[in-house]
Amino acid sequence: AAGPFSSDHKQPSAAACCAACEEQRARARVEGRSGCNVWVWCGSAQCGKQRHECWLKRADGLWAVVPAADGNGVKSKVDILVGTSDRWTAGSETAAPPDHPSGAGLALPVGAEAHFALVFANPALGRVRVRLRTAGAPRASGRLR
């Protein structure tokens, strides 16, 4: 379920959106409620008017599993889409267990990326595209933003 912060809640970065989730969760706990445990943020210009939107959500039983409908094994209780997006960044309060059936716990999510291209004076050499992932090269990718 989407929280009170959605299309009208803008944040300058994914980190700020994550912090907003943490702050909302802390306020909710003081009031005896469950707060945000999932956030989604769009930092891409491709998002248009949704750019910098920060959606704070609550997904109860996020990593819970239930028996699969066919009786073979288990499945995620909550529908989870695992993958990457060039537009949206998301996070959760807790990491997925390594054995979660969604596959979310198999690898750490791909960090934000910074892209640049090298174009050589000799066109025969072609073009080289370099992607720096924030998780692997935080200072270098930060300088390119």
Q: What is the pLDDT along the chain (145 residues), one digit of tens a residue?
A: 445 556 778 999 988 999 999 999 999 999 999 999 999 998 888 889 999 999 999 988 888 888 888 877 787 777 766 656 777 888 888 888 888 777 776 655 455 555 555 666 677 776 666 665 565 556 666 665 5
pTM across the whole model: 0.63
Contacts of 71 (CB under 8 A, 6+ apart): none
Q: For residue 89, which of 54, 62, 135, 137 has the smallest C-alpha distance?
A: 54
Q: Using CA atoms, how far apart are residues 91 and 17, in angstroms rounded to an integer?
A: 9
Question: In the chain, how many H helices and how many E strands?
Answer: 2, 7
Helix (H, G, I), strand (E, B), or coil: what is residue 89?
A: strand
